[in-house]
Amino acid sequence: MNRTESDRLFAEALKYIPGGVNSPVRAFRAVGGNPFFVNRASGSKVWDVDGNELIDYVLTWGPAILGHAHPKIIAAVKAAAELGTSFGIPNPLEVTMAKLICELVPSVQKVRMTSSGTEACMSAIRLARGFTRRDKIIKFDGCYHGHADSLLVRAGSGALTFGQPDSAGVPAAFTSHTIVMPYNDFEAVTAVFTANKDQIAGIIVEPVPGNAGLYLPKPGYLEFLREITAAHGALLIFDEVMTGFRLARGGAQERFHITPDLSCFGKVIGGGLPVGAFGGRAEIMDYLAPLGPVYQAGTLSGNPLAMAAGLANLQELCSRACESAENPRSHERGYDVYELLEARGAQLAAGMRDAAKSAGVPMQFNQCGSMFCGYFTDQPVHNVAEAMRSDREKFKKFFHGMLAAGVYLAPSQFEAGFLSTAHTAADIEKTVSAAAKVLRTL
């Protein structure tokens, strides 16, 4: 596969951008080689600057649930841009977006927009602390909630150990009130609440973690988190930046029938433009300025372009009928968006598991709706420690083999993959066929 122009651009980018990229995972450091540069995307495909066509399972890291360059989103952004790209003054689209989110997610009575998922999670943590008048927050090893200082922390040596910063430039004092637990561990969370009576402001969790690959909550785990936070007067915060409106119209909380106190959103609600949001019970949200003492602000929050793109995305998802890529008139028969995504996810998972088995390669292929990840291990993966058992050298070879076959997966073992309504059965068949060939070479 020719990548002459991508290599030239990367060499130039290295002169002006740290590492040549504006987000670390794009640098391909985890898999080796140089990243490629894209200048066009449509449906399930992207085309790089050298003209190579790829089936895309990264989908701008999740937002493109309807595929790239969906015509309704493009039209909405064009119409909004003609009226002005930003105002810094309330605009009607903000109200429409807030109302729609509250309608789709019953746990959210009020919501505030931000410009990123990082801002949403950071603000939700501040709000939880302000509302409860407590300082300590529980998070889980392997769950990523953005790069805010207090959340860039990993687990220490024991279940009750306070975390140390994951990044240079973050003082230890900033993370001293963040306690990190292994995901899917019931006893560890119970022990923390016992040892920190009346000190825990809340738990923040990805209900389906997608930043260490993808693994699912064990039966009863999310229910347990709901019960223990309620029993101790702490808040349960669902980080649904990735899962929100992707695993169901109401997100993971609808799929698993859990009602958190606060929820964070992003990705899908921006239709590919920078966006975030956090919301929850009205009594909690009303602690935000200008009504309450918890300050949060953002110049571009509720930006009309992001609101227009996000509304077009959500409204298409809300229509309960969509066009499948194979049949442009399938919406006339009421083909449900999420039924289609579930079917595509199941098809991919079954095909990949069969391909790995036939090749004699140990693989755990975790899948939840339109999210997935394959780990090169013969043991189940329920948390980040188990994810780390995956053979990363095998993953590197698999990644580059798939890329050479025209299939783009996330360039890291520890990232989730995504499907869209634009992915066809033929796309998945091609992907599985390519995987079967690559796996036999590992």
- What SS3 state is found at 90? coil
Q: What is the pLDDT of residue 16?
A: 98
Q: Quick check: is 267 catalytic?
A: yes
321/109 Cα distance (integer angstroms): 26
- End-to-end CA gap in the chain: 20
Please answer whether residues 308 and 80 qualify as being in contact, where contact means their C-beta atoms are separated by less than 8 angstroms: yes
**Is 378 marked active-site?**
no
Rounded average pLDDT per 10-residue block, the chain, 442 residues: 96 97 92 96 98 98 97 98 96 97 97 97 97 96 84 46 58 83 96 96 97 96 98 98 97 98 98 97 98 96 97 90 54 71 97 98 98 98 95 97 98 96 97 98 96
Encode pLDDT of 374-395 as tens digits.
999 999 999 999 999 999 999 9
Element (H, E) at 111: strand 110-114
Q: For position 155, what pLDDT does the model report?
A: 34
In DSSP terms, 263 is beta-bridged to 238, 279
CA atoms in the 13 A half-sphere facing the CB of 319: 18
CATH number of 4-66+335-439, picked from 3.40.50.150, 1.10.3720.10, 3.40.50.720, 3.90.1150.10: 3.90.1150.10
Residue in 239, 261, 391, 427 annotated catalytic: 239
The active-site residue, picked from 45, 56, 144, 335, is 144
Task: Dump strand ranges (E) for 326-406.
Answer: 364-368, 371-375
Among the listed residues 220, 401, 246, the one whose alpha carbon sits nearest the alpha carbon of residue 314: 246
CATH of domain 71-317: 3.40.640.10
What pLDDT is stored for residue 158 in this prediction?
34
- 308-365: per-residue pLDDT in tens? 999 999 999 988 655 555 555 444 445 689 999 999 999 999 999 999 999 999 999 9
Domain ranges across the chain: 4-66+335-439, 71-317
Strands (DSSP E) contained in 354-404 are 364-368, 371-375
pTM of the model: 0.94
* 354 flagged as catalytic: no
Q: Which of 45, 136, 139, 267 is catalytic?
A: 267
- Alpha carbon dihedral 191, 196, 199, 202, in 10-degree steps, equals -10
**Chain mean pLDDT for the chain:** 93
- Tokens in use for 213? 């690959």
217 burial level (CB within 10 Å; 0-12, 13-18, 19+): buried
What is the C-alpha to C-alpha distance for residues 298 and 310, in angstroms, rounded to an integer?
18
The answer to whether 228 touches 248, Cβ cutoff 8 Å, is no
Taking the CB of residue 357, how many other CB atoms lie within 10 A of it? 12
Calculate the alpha carbon distances from 309 to 100, 174, 329, 347 in Å.
14, 35, 23, 29
The amino acid occupying position 103 is E
Helix (H) or strand (E) holding 39: strand 38-42
User: What pLDDT was estimated at residue 147?
Assistant: 82
